[in-house]
Amino acid sequence: MKPTIYLGADHAGFETKEAVTTYLKENGYTVVDMGNDNMVANDDYPDFGYAVAKRVMTDGNARGIVMCGNAQGICIVANKVRGVRAATGFNAEVARTSRTDDDSNVLCLPGRFLSTKEALEIVQHWLDTPFSGEERHVRRLKKVDDIESQEFGS
């Protein structure tokens, strides 16, 4: 079963979000657009990054894709939500390994630095790639969870 995809973007990622929305719908995904609904030059990425991250954590079969100018700000915001593993995907290989190694559940795209074709390729690689489940990656993610609960130790 394909996951529901929650999308969000500020003005710098708006055009990319619109293209990704169309692409995902054409490929049979359920898409929930968390905004912005139209181009607003002075909107703020934290509003959309947080909304998407919260929905990813409350929907058992979901992933998120968020976009801002360089993807860093919206990625920082998404990672503030416990359980979210947001990763910046500036190319297909980085996006792929964010899934195999880090089990990322939110993909962050830099709207100002990717063509539509590049963004869609990155999205498809990210969606098609499962978590590897390798012991070393599971161990590392356990440490991430421990940090979140302030029980981390070496």
Query: 3-state DSSP: the chain helix, strand, coil percent, rounded to 5?
Result: 45, 15, 40
Does residue 153 form part of some domain?
A: no
Residue 110 pLDDT grade (very low, low, confident, very high; cuts 50, 70, 90): very high
Residue 149 pLDDT grade (very low, low, confident, very high; cuts 50, 70, 90): confident
Residue 19 pLDDT grade (very low, low, confident, very high; cuts 50, 70, 90): very high
Cα dihedral 140, 128, 48, 94 in deg (nearest 10): 60
**What is the rounded average pLDDT for all residues in the chain?**
95
| Residue 151, pLDDT score | 53
Domain with 27 in it: 4-148
Nearest to 27 by CA among 46, 6, 2: 2
In the residue annotation, 75 being an active-site residue is answered as no
Chain centroid offset of residue 6 CA: 9
* CATH number of the domain enclosing 26: 3.40.1400.10
Q: Count the domains in the chain.
A: 1
Nearest to 98 by CA among 123, 61, 72, 135: 123
Catalytic residue among 7, 53, 68, 81: 68
What number is the average pLDDT over the span 41-64?
97
Does residue 113 form part of some domain?
A: yes
Does residue 154 form part of some domain?
A: no
